[in-house]
Structure 1
Amino acid sequence: MTATVLRQHAEQQYAAELAALAAADDRPRPPRWRLSPWAVVTYLVGGTLADGTVISPKYIGSRRLMEIAVATLATDRALLLIGVPGTAKSWVSEHLAAAISGDSTLTVQGTAGTSEESLRYGWNYALLLSRGPTPEAIVPSPVMRAMEAGSLVRIEELTRIPSDVQDTLISPLSEKTLPVPELGIERQAAEGFNLIATANNRDRGVNELSSALKRRFNTVVLPTPATLAEEVAIVEQRVAAQGRALRLPGTPPAAEQIARVVTLFRELRNGITEDGKTKVKSPSGTLSPAEAISVLSHGWSLAAHFGDGLPGAHDLAAGVLGAVIKDPAQDPAIWREYLDTVVREREDWRDLYRACRELA
């Protein structure tokens, strides 16, 4: 029996939308692109095609930002997506690769332990020992494979990678070649090759990009949602999708509960209430839309498996507390002050106040 995967890649999950866009797309396409830049942006931000096909939005925010990102990838500059945690950098990166190359799996996950081999190539040591260095003994990295295929490659958390390893990318991004000095050869990039990297605002200074590498990128900053309504729409859509993927029983969180959690996170993140009347202290955590999605999904699971199936304040409180209090030294006092000065004063939030106060 074949197991059902927990999460399909973007090109599989949205195959029908990509096929509909390809069929309707009569605009110029850069070499080896599956869709035109216009169609890629439509895939990302959503729309309705002439035949009535509805394209769901993958990114809710500025269309212009997506246009800038897509236009960058049609040039010889690589794309660097920067933002605080939870601003959909990896999500956008995956969908860009899916729409442009039809393959979002050529990915390097950046960590402090990422080696040069992860960005260049490694060796099949059995072949290396038996035959010596030969082209057949090379184990290509995702970067090399993308260069050979003329497709996009994704590098997640670029600034987590040590600086000397990062600079391995300079040759592929500038000369569009990857030397193999052991064999005296090089691999040249086919038309269509480019690179999307993501970086966390909070990690600036961890392994800052060299000036030589920075010049090879066009940087697009993905902001947190500008309005409460925009953020609620993002969270509502993603919570529903996550619930379907996890096959959570019961009822998804009501719009009122979603708006509460998003409002609470926005106020603590921004340091001021939504009406602009009360300043509040911000805790150490980022309290991004991604964390709101996690809290609401957790509350849904609690209610489904241990409650009445309808997520309420008592189901959400534990997740909210865990998201807000990251630093045990300073965050508890900030949280209690917010509860007493803001949450308690809202008549329709009294149940949430009581649930959170009990846990706090």
Structure 2
Amino acid sequence: MALAVREEWSALGHSLQESGAMSPEWMPSFLAVPRSAFLPEVFWPFDMDTGKVMEVDRRTAPEDWESFASADMPLVTQWDDGEGHGPGKMPTSSASMPTVVFRMLGDLDVQHGHRVLEIGTGTGWNAALLTHRLGPDRVVTIEIDSNVAAAARDRLAAADLLGTVLTRDGALGDPAGAPYDRIIATAGLRQIPGAWLEQVRRQGVIVAPWGTHFGNEDAIVRLTVGPEGASGPFTRAAEFMKVRAQRLAFDGHSAYVPDGVGGASRSTTEVTEAELLGSGRFEARTFALGLRVPDCHCTVADKRDGARPVWFFGLTDRSWACVMFRDGRPTTVWQSGDRELWHEVTAALRWWQDAGEPGYDRFGLTVTKDGAQHAWLDTPENSWPV
């Protein structure tokens, strides 16, 4: 690295360490394995506040490229599973922001001699950090996209950090290489694969972004594997691209409401916009609603002319609800279908409020060997199916 870039990267490392995002034992790997060595010539920095992206090409804007490569922000590296070469419908591979990477590595708590299975190779940077720390014979990484896997393999080899890179569905894990001490996933999940539980040693750890289809957000869960399955707390909010087999299957608004809201039941509500949505991008209340209202997807529209509709769609039938918030006017609710989704949502909201408005870290997840998942509040004994 050039001196200026090296200094910028080092400054980021010290900032991560001072904030507590990165523990001191990761600093040597951070300095030895810069993210820039694992990025393509073109990427798209993602603005977490606005949700917008911009294209940065190393060949035409090398200084901008280096600056973004050393910044604490996520960088999109693929769109639409590689079918397009620019911003498309959906980002499908990325380089995560360093803060998230090192907080997850902290949750993983690797020790000398551990063997780690990574699900979602992506650029290869996370695998490179683990390999630098543990050694190439201690890290196996899996990537479902053959082109992404090939590029990561080349970058790892160029950095002299090439371990084993497998091209397959990560949900299957690596039975031939099991047992592992740790599994870390770098793609969002809605179901923890049972194969992973079988491939981790007793008292081993699984760290993964997990969430419900209520929204696109995830929370990092740290599961400890036991004789009957795995259980553990959520640590913090996050948002990852979802594993391909577990992406949201949603037929779209028109499949639910082809003729408008005229035929639906209509009422009003005292629930306020702030009470339902909060004020930030990651809201524990939204996470709680997803845990308490199963098989439901929520979309929040932009506010226009003082009005904002929030929609709820049942994922197992065609039930739907819409709440329309209007500045200075009563809030209207429409519902249709076998499920009264707005009533389910308000009951879940009251439950969260009555529980003291718990944050992410008061929730946890238990996964049994047969694949059943239960969320819990404070202790696994206080659980319900999800």
TM-score by length of 2: 0.29
Structure richer in helix, relative to its length: 1
Larger of the two Rg values belongs to structure:
1
Structure richer in strand, relative to its length: 2
- If asked which structure has higher relative contact order (CA below 8 Å, sep 6+), I would say 1
TM-score by length of 1: 0.30
